[in-house]
Structure 1
Amino acid sequence: MASNFASSPSVILKGLRLQWGDLFTAASGEVNGKPTTPKFKAVGLMEPNSEAFNLAKNSMLAAARELWGPNAESVVAAIATNSKALRNGNGKLLDDGSVNPQFKDLFFISASNKSKPQIVAPRLHNGKFVVITEDGRGMVDGIDVTNELGYVLKAPYRGCYVNMKVQFVAGKSFKAPSGEMLPNQVYAKLEAVQFLRDGEAFGAGPTSAEGFGDEEVSQETVDANSLF
């Protein structure tokens, strides 16, 4: 029997502005009045037609094509907004019906994972990734190397800029063990986050990382106008 899920290769989306991040402690939400499984989560903002947007869009479609073949674009266009990892920020409304200014005229990706993603520094230390702790310390092989780095290390916070490593997963509609019918979806699995640079903070607060670097990724161009 054919699989109900298909994935894209992992990709690195560069220069996203972190709008939300449950990066160090998994958080639980609520669906239809029932608590959801705690997950680590990141929401990243990106400019329309930016390199990050085009890569995310094409990778989302790649996962969809693996599952739905030539009908992928039509299926994705019909999927409910909250069941797509990549979304138009102008659909994020405040209680008064106006667009949330943090999302206005931008696109965003919502990615999550039950497993904790790696959170790493912008530079390697002696050829190894520096894992950032919640209190902003840098660890390599379990040893604190913060004072050896030569720059101020910071834990990612809301409003800063990050590189985000994700994998897109397309899933067909199916009936969950609870009896609930889950719709078609294309979600993003969060694998790692790399602090990039400071940004104006939002609000009051702040797996494998292999692959972070300056490599270029070429993807075919796809018209997204009908997808969002």
Structure 2
Amino acid sequence: MKVKLQNVRLAFPALFEAKTVNGEGAPAFGASFLIEPGNKALVKSINDAIDAVATEKWGAKAPAHLALMRKTDKVALHDGDLKAQYAGFAGMLFVSSRSAARPLVLDKDKSPLNAQDGRPYGGCYVNATVELWAQDNKYGKRVNAQLLGVQFFADGDSFGGGAVGSADDFDDLAQGAEEDALV
């Protein structure tokens, strides 16, 4: 089930190059999306989608499976306090997503972005789409999120770098200015 996350904060983006987590597993694209707990409409839509995906997979057993999965943090919506050591996570909720395929990455005007554009970056605000799906295999039961696409929405304080420099960071070195700077 596809879910749209609007005006959420981007963390741990691997949008242009697939990466491994702690050097383990197959490389994948991915990102986490920080959500204000007070954004009740978005939180409800995510939880409703989790419930629907679980019901489709497990039928009448879904409520029991979901109760255990939520208790053991095995659904796509997580408590940010579990990752409070990372900037921006404390007091928030987050959706963690991955994908084997490179996600669509767009600017505000829907034009494609690439890594050299410098956005989106960890700490900015984005709109994103994820596909929720139920896992039931040798690794256990979960409801996961596959990353489909990200659209840059607005600048925010960067998490650990990645922001683009500004012309305001530099002095004007027009004719004659360099002599003043050397004095």
TM-score normalized by structure 2? 0.81
Task: Select 2:161's aligned residue among 182, 198, 204.
Answer: 204
What are the residue-to-residue correspondences of 1:123-202 with 2, within 5 Å? 123=109, 129-136=110-117, 155-172=119-136, 174-175=137-138, 182-202=139-159
Q: How big is the shift at 1:35?
A: 2.5
Question: 1:170-217, CA deviations, whole angstroms, 9 ceiling, x for partnerless residues?
Answer: 112x23xxxxxx1111100100000000111111125xxxxxxxxxxx
Amino acid aligned to 1:166: V
- Could you say which residue in structure 1 is the equivalent of 2:82? 91
The Cα of 1:101 is off from its aligned counterpart by: 5.4
Equivalent residue, structure 1, for 2:21: 29
Q: How does 1:59-138 map to 2 (within 5 A)?
A: 59-79=49-69, 80-81=72-73, 83-94=74-85, 100=86, 102-123=88-109, 129-136=110-117
Alignment partners' CA distance in 1, 2:60 and 2:144:
19
The verdict on how the C-alpha distance between 1:204 and 1:101 changes in structure 2, with shifts beyond 3 A counting, is: closer
Where 2:115 maps in the other structure, the secondary structure is coil
2:89 counterpart SS class = coil
2:87–2:159 Cα contact (<8 Å) kept: no
Letter of the 2:79 counterpart: N
Return the alpha-carbon distance in structure 2 between the equivalents of residues 49 and 75 of structure 1: 26
CA gap of 1:88–1:66, structure 2 versus 1, over 3 A, is same
Q: CA RMSD in A?
A: 1.7
Structure 1 stretches of 4+ with a deviation exceeding 6 A read none
Equivalent residue, structure 2, for 1:43: 32
Instruction: Name the larger-Rg structure.
Output: 2
Cα 1:35–1:91 change in 2 (3 A) is: closer
Q: How far, CA to CA, are the matches of 2:16 and 2:130 in structure 1?
A: 17
User: What is the count of residue pairs matched by the alignment?
Assistant: 160
Aligned partner letter, 2:119:
A
Specify the SS of the correspondent of 2:116.
coil
Kindly, what percent of the aligned residue pairs are identical? Answer: 31
**2:172 — aligned with what?**
none
Aligned residue for 1:158, secondary structure, equals coil
Question: 2:81·2:92 contact (CA, 8 Å) conserved in 1?
Answer: yes
Question: Do 1:166 and 1:190's aligned partners in 2 also have CA atoms closer than 8 Å?
Answer: yes
Unaligned runs of 5+ in 2: 164-183
Cα distance in structure 1, aligned partners of 2:119 and 2:11: 14
SS at match of 1:164: strand
Q: Alpha-carbon deviation of 1:84?
A: 2.0
Shift of residue 49, structure 1, vs aligned partner: 4.3
**Which consecutive residues of structure 1, in runs of 5 or more, have no partner in the other structure?**
1-7, 95-99, 124-128, 137-153, 176-181, 207-228
Greater share of helix residues, 1 or 2?
2
Name 1:14's counterpart in structure 2.
6
- Distance in 1 (CA, whole Å) between partners of 2:20 and 2:81 is 25
